[in-house]
Every structure is written in structure tokens, then in C-alpha cells.
Structure 1
Amino acid sequence: MSKVVASAIAGALSLTSAGGLTMVQALDRDTVTFSVDGVSQQAKVKPGTVKQALAQQGITVGPHDDVQPSLDSEIHDGQVITVNYGRRVVVTIDGKKVVRWTTAKNVSEVLEQLNQSDPDNLVSVSRSLDISRAGLSFSMQTAKHVTVTVAGKTQTVTAVGTVADAFKAAKVDVDSNDIVNPGFGTPLADGMKISLTMVDQKTQKRRVSVPFATKKVKDSALAKGETEITVKGVNGINEETWTAVFKDGKKVSEKKVSSKVVKAPVAQVVKVGTRTSDPSSSTSSSSRRSSSGSSASQASSSNPVTSGTTCVASTYGEGDGTAGGPTASGETFNPSAFTAASRTLPLGSTIRVTNVNNGRTVTVRINDRGPYVGGRCLDLSTAAMNAIAPGEGLVTVRYS
């Protein structure tokens, strides 16, 4: 090489580049790829360490950031430097706070690092949510494996939250009467045993017999020690309402909550003899009662009906469900009153009725219509029939 050429080359190498570097310095550069949080860019840097290369690019890293290769590593041409910034993540797991610095880019990656990636876990944010360099706070509830026993049948379910959520997972409907152990608001724990006792209340109606009372009336017309039933007693009927409690289908208790009268009982009236005097005295006493006249509530064997209509009379009111019902006159039927039903006699009229077999006579008031059976002319109340023919259902009578 000629001295002229060599001198020219040396002069050229000693020239300063436009950037202030000599040509030798300008040519001494390495091509490096910087990957920062997954974003890559190439740049030419002076030889040196990773730390120096990052500084040339204005990339600052801290103690929680991950740099590969290490900051002290020497770079070379074609080098790839990876920087992943650390992020402060606060996760509240089942009420307990966990603080962690991580280079994870989204919530899903954080959950994997915490071994909490179970898809049944309930996370307060989306699992795909990106985490900025500012960090993130979120909460989660872990899924629990529990057993639910209902009416003796047990199943295992996975649920998040409370006992109420376990029943939802088990597809069991619970109402306010049911007994749950532990309570609905109890937080779930792995292996928890939950039981449900199904409680039902059912209303039942029952008809019960009400015994009749007995009323004793002293009667001087009867000898002492003798008795005579003038009104035959009839049991009443009450309708009772009961509430029964069932647990898992078995009745455990019941309680009567109300009662109403369906048919009132008819008191039995019994005459009790008190006469201790001789028969003649009794006859005199009887004559005085006859002279004073008989009332509609008494029967007499004196002054029977000797002319008028003769027919068969029946009775109603005793155990046939008519007691307490309406009559044709509009009044309520009372079997203990001395009344009768007739198809033709005026309502409100009074007649005397005699049993042709024994001569006993009773005065009754017509307040109803009937009977509607051929051959019968009157339907006597229970009290009226017992006054002239105790215990009989049909009797031949004469009335006027």
C-alpha cells in the first residue's frame, strides 16, 4: 500500500462522527433486543453489561422486577434482554389478606402462582383481567366440599359461601319452618356436615260427639224414687280444627286451635218423684194442677182430646241433623220446645194432641211444615213426642 493511501485511511479513522464519536467508536456497537413486559424492540448499544445496556435505553428496574440475563451479565451482539416488571398484588382469600409481588400479567396467572386456580373458586374480578404496573387488589372465596343430608339421604356438593349456598348447589328448597344445622349464614368449611330436617304443618278437621247433660226436675206427682224421662237427651256435634306438625314426614305433635258447634246437644230432662203422701192426697194435688190449666211445656193425662182428627204422628229433631236449622215460620228449630209441623194448620196456631193409647195430652204450637210421608198428619218435636209417648217414633194421636 502506498504511503498516500495509508495516510488517507488513518486520517479517515481519526475523523469524528456526526454523533461526536470517532468512526472506530461508531462501528463498535452490538444489536440487542429488549423485551419489556412482552413488548420487544431492537437497538444498538455499546458493549458492556446488561445494566449499562438498559441505562442506555432509559429502562429503569427495581428490586421486584425480573431481568434476564442478570444485570451484571456481559452483552453480545444479538443479545435478548427480558424485563418483566414486578406488580404488587393484594388478594383476600376467605377473609385472609395475602400480599405478593409478582411478574404475572393477569389475574389467572396470579391464581396459578397461589395454587388457587380451581374453576369453582369465586373471584371478585375477571380471571382474564390484566394487571397494570400500579398493581391490583381483589378477593376470592375458595370452593368447599361438604355433605348435605336431607331426610336421611346424603349427597356431597361443592359450593362457595355459606350453608345457604350449599343447599342451592344441592338443589334443595328450604322453607322457614325447616330446621337447618348449622345455620344458613354459617361460612362453609371443607368436610362440613350439613343437615336439614323438613318440618311441615298440616291442618286437620275432626267431628267429635258432645255428650248431652241431664237435668233433673222434682215432681210431686210421682212417688218418691220414681223417675220419668220427659225429654230424651241427644248428643251434640262439634267440629274441631287441629294443627299437626310433621318432621321428615312423621307426625311429632298436634294441637287443637279452634272448635265450633255443628249441632248443639239436647239436655235430657228427668222427672224425679217426691210424693210421699197417700194416693188420695196425690189425686187432690193432681186435680188442683188440672184446674189451673196445662201449659205448652207439660203433658197431662186428664182432659184428653175426644173429638177431632185422628192420624199417625211422627217425631223429628233427635239425631237427624234438624236441630238448629230454620223452620217454615223463620224461627230456629229447637227440639226441646213444644212445637209441631203440619202441612195444613196455620203457622203460629196452637193445638192439643192426645196419644190415643195412653190418653196423655200435650199442647203444641205449629211453627213448621210437614210431614211429607203419606198417612201422617203431624211431626212432633222431640220434647212433644216424649211428653205423650217417651222413646217412641210413631204414635196414633187425636188433635183439635
Structure 2
Amino acid sequence: MQANASPRSTVGFLGNKKRVFWGLGVVVAAVIILTGFFYNRHNIRIFADGKEVNVVMRGGTVAESLKKANISLGERDLIEPALDTKLADDLTVRITRKLCITLADAGEASEQWVTPGNVGQALEELKITVNSSDKVVPEPSTVIKSGDTIEISRFSDKFIEESIKVPFKLERRNDNLMEKGTTRIVRKGQDGLIQKTIKITYRNGEEIKREVVAEKVLREPVAKIVAYGTVTVKEISRGGQINFSRALSMTATAYTHTGNNTASGIYPYRGAVAVDPSVIKMGTRLYVEGYGYAKALDIGSAIKGNRIDLFFDTEKEARKWGRRIVKVYVLE
């Protein structure tokens, strides 16, 4: 008859079993911990300032990954994805730095922040409309960098119409029925009129150019025709005649003795006359209608232009003459 197992043997078996279970528990716990450790590791790629930075994170957000990579953000910088995005394995973060440029639009300058690219893209981002007549410097395809200046010159045109006077010409005609020195208006002149269409070009509101783009004749000019006398011989009383270089129509007055000599220094006599030296030179021989032969020997403060003062021996004769218009012939 087999004997029963001893209490000691049973206790030993149970103790060994507990140790096995405890060891298995430790292994399982270690596996769980290690699995969680490696499972939460995220490889993050950050692209900024033309470089790639790689960081390993155990959970967290995009903002925390930037902090670990020691990358700071400017106020206007763009980041994708957003800062509060939860990290995931192989996540790519891209940072776009805004560029500070100067925009000179129609002469007014301002500071602007734009995304890297070319000039055309910057203007589109800023919602700046450029017309076909405007000029952009530099060219729209030019890549910009921080500190650059984009200048937009605004050009516009305006059309106006102006009426321009065309001065008439003077046409001279000889008249052999008129005395030399006399003239007659045969036909009055009239100015012509041209309508011009003028294109005015403005740059940034200031006029820079004018050009005539069309002309229309509204009225042709009419030449003024003046007849000039050519006759230099005149018949005078008693069948005589005189030869003269020119004839003048003058206002003739009369004077008599004052007790003074003439401007030429001689004592006045009939035939001595006062003239304006700018019209008739002193000493010139003359023939005055209704008076006769004379000589320019005197001047007077009131004798200016086409005026002549005739000397008479008596006051009675001078008063009788009075004032009249006469022909004065400058003798050759």
C-alpha cells in the first residue's frame, strides 16, 4: 500500500509554481513597457530656412517638435500642419518664412510681407492689379528676396482737342497808280483755324508727354493783300513836276515867329518846317501840298509821328491854315 505525499512536497511544488507565474508576469510587463516605448517614438522631418531637421519625439504636438529642434517662428511665418497638430510617425513639417519687401505703387511706398516666389506671385498675393499699360520693375518673373523693392509705374492717357490759330500771310502788290510811300489795303486778312487732337500721357498722375495724334482744318487762312504805290513823279501847279522818294499823309499845323531860332540854329522863314526826326530826317527837302517847297529845319515837343508844323510869316496866315491832313513828298 502506497504512502500519501508528504506535506513538504506539496508546499515545494506550489512555491515553484508561484515563482513561475511571477516571472512570466515580469516578462509580460517588460514586453508591454518596451512595446509602448518604441511604439510612441515618432520620426519628425522639419523643413525650414532651406534645411531639413529630423527629430524623434515620443508623442506631443508640432509646436513641441519645433521647440526640440530649436526652431523659432516669426509672427508672419507660415507652418503646415498647424502647431497644435498631434505628432504621428514620419510627419513632415514645413515652415515658410515671409519676406519683407517695399512696394512702390504709383509713387507711394509701403512695407509688405509676402510669400517667397517671384514678383508676379507677390503682386497676386497682395491683390495688386496691374494694367497692360503699367510697368513693373523688376520683371514679374524675377525671384524676390527680403529687402527687395517692387516698383509699379501707373500710365494713363487723356485726349483733348485744341483750336490753333494759323496766322494769315501778308501779300504785297505794286500799284503804279499810287504814289510811292502810300499803301492801300486791297483785302483784309483772316487767320486760319486748325483743330488738333492731343494725346497727353501721365505717369503716376504727372504729365510726361504730349503728342498730336490728329489734325483737322476748320478754316483756311486768308492772306492780307496790301497795295504799295510805285509812282515817284507828281505834277504840280503851273505845269511843273517833282520827283520824290516817298509820299506821306501827315497832319499839318502852323506856327509863326516866337523870337527864337529853329532847332537847326537858323532864324525861321517861310518854308522852314518842324518834323519828327524819326520820320523825316533834319535837313530833308520836302514838298507840302497847299504850302509848297519846304525843308525840315525844326522840331517840336508836340510834333511826333506823322505830324508836321509849317512856318508862316504872320499869325493871321498861321490861324488861317489851322490843322489839316496833307500829302508831304520827300524829294530826291
Give the alignment's TM-score, normalised by structure 1: 0.42
Q: Higher relative contact order at CA 8 Å, sep ≥6: structure 1 or structure 2? A: 2
Give the alignment's TM-score, normalised by structure 2: 0.49
Higher strand share: 2
